[in-house]
Structure 1
């Protein structure tokens, strides 16, 4: 931990009704994310920037949002603070688009303060997405937290236990078996190492379209992983996580009253909301409109001894 006083600060003016907690929580993997979390009402986000590690603190003061930066990357994170907070998210035309569906119309009104963040840093989100592939949330969190703490470093700033994400070079150079004690099998470890080897090129992507194309060209990365990444790196409101275990059922249930749906049915139901299909899924999740559950949950497995 370094530097308890902010290097640079900025005051942001969110729109009326802005929901800071709901918007910023989209950046964290649960309440104990090693790189992003709320502490005493302030949201802390640590990342690697072109200038070095940086930590951003965001807190509400009345109607304003105060941004403070720490570390070598402080100026970078503060300059991007409005995007990280979701304040560059453009909802123009969305209310009109969903006005014809009573469920979506109500959700859009109820959660009108929810905004999509756009961090501008691709590899940290990609690392997490790869570790989330085809496993339970508990397994994914354990693998993610262990990987960050093994390869990362304590983040600059006043928050104990906050970590800067790993350097891609360290991930790329590690043999696959290093990840086994973290609960990561060779398939995901190899995918992560391949992605880390081209991280510089990925970070130079200018938009979600280019990033999706480059990501899905990497063996082991499909549309689900790409969508999970570009939704928060570029704030892409149209990114749909095709291949998800739960989302097709949720969409089918909420939009058509069908307890089960596959990817094809999901995309057909979302088609009228082109341009905001990912936002529709986000609203359904925020509204808790999950499909009925049938059968057992996915079991938790361990690869630590493999």
Structure 2
């Protein structure tokens, strides 16, 4: 992978308006040995269409991502540190970065990065292949499907043939992803999306370069620790969830070390157990997080309100519980999350029962 670095410039690319603040611009082309579908691969990462940190184009052929990248040896700007814009970990400053991904061919994605420093921009580009699922190998799962002659495997093969570019992203950013998942605990999607949007709009950092208006870089652990309790209430975050978020923020350095855990199935399973030692982190939260940070191919979201029903009805025509779902997925052990993703892309729609939950809003009480 060749990285080209350009001098700081406020000029915009062909997407989005220019920012007034100049930033170092670097770019590369990520070439994969098998197809990648940018939209499908990044699909699990944004928290709703209005996610201020990640926007996928309507066409699915491009995306904006606002995140942080390490810049070893740099010190945080005092003003940024005071506002929660940067965090130090053993002398490493994590700087705000804007990424723009564009699908060029079935195998090639151009990635551009803007950051305050060359080192942060280059580091962001080195992380880009993982975000695009470059290390996600479907070959053994494809072999498993082709060797089977049952109707379910045949149906999964058909879905797989329609979507050869589907990959599981390993986006890293363990602390940030834990925050997004904790916000989704025991609440509706609308509540969780609203919390995330308001959190970033209020405490997120302005991204460098030409990111579209309204995008934000998620707050650092230090920034999260500085949010007063009454503000969590205004953000529609229940007290137990706020306490869990503060526990996560207080362990930011340890989580960054755990983030470097290899993405092998056995290592990820061990990491899930370690995350569950944190107060407020259960199997569902660990699985949902590691599916996004490490491309966890075998971690299933046990405890999800809908998933077991969907899997059971898709595979047998009948709803089931978590134990039943795990029994149904056992033939694809090692690849169970791949099966879940294919079910989601199959066009199957489960039977709906009753009206949607409409939670009461207590924020102004």
Instruction: Give a deviation string over 1:118-155, Cα, whole Å, max 9, x none.
Output: 11211111111000111111111000111122221111
Is 1:255–2:315 an aligned residue pair?
yes
Which residue of 229, 235, 243 maps to 2:295?
A: 235
SS of the residue aligned with 1:50?
Answer: strand
Which residue of 105, 109, 117 maps to 2:161?
A: 109
SS of the residue aligned with 2:44?
Answer: helix
Larger Rg: 2
Whether the 8 Å contact between 1:47 and 1:164 is mirrored in structure 2 is yes
Look up the match of 2:246: 193
Look up the match of 1:289: 348
Residues 173 and 94 of structure 1, relative CA distance in 2, 3 Å threshold: same
Aligned positions of 1:108-257 closer than 5 A: 108-159=160-211, 160-205=213-258, 206-207=261-262, 208-257=268-317
Look up the match of 2:89: none
Q: Distance in 1 between matches of 2:363 and 2:33?
A: 47
Look up the match of 1:266: 325
Instruction: Give a deviation string over 1:136-194, Cα, whole Å, max 9, x none.
Output: 11111000111122221111120222111111122123333321111111011111111
TM-score normalized with structure 1 length: 0.93
Q: Distance in 1 between matches of 2:289 and 2:272?
A: 9
Residues 177 and 211 of structure 1, relative CA distance in 2, 3 Å threshold: farther
Shift of 1:91: 0.8
Look up the match of 2:122: 75
Which residue of 42, 56, 63 maps to 1:38?
A: 56
Whether the 8 Å contact between 2:269 and 2:299 is mirrored in structure 1 is no
Shift of 1:211: 3.1
Gaps of 5+ in 2: 1-18, 72-94, 263-267
Instruction: Give a deviation string over 1:101-127, Cα, whole Å, max 9, x none.
Output: 222222222222101111121111111
Shift of 1:210: 4.3
Between 10-19 and 279-288, report the one with greater CA deviation.
Answer: 10-19
SS of the residue aligned with 1:178?
Answer: helix
Shift of 1:5: 6.5
Aligned positions of 1:51-70 closer than 5 A: 51=71, 52-63=95-106, 64-70=108-114
Give the CA RMSD over aligned residues.
Answer: 1.9
Residues 289 and 15 of structure 1, relative CA distance in 2, 3 Å threshold: farther
TM-score normalized with structure 2 length: 0.79
Whether the 8 Å contact between 2:174 and 2:293 is mirrored in structure 1 is yes
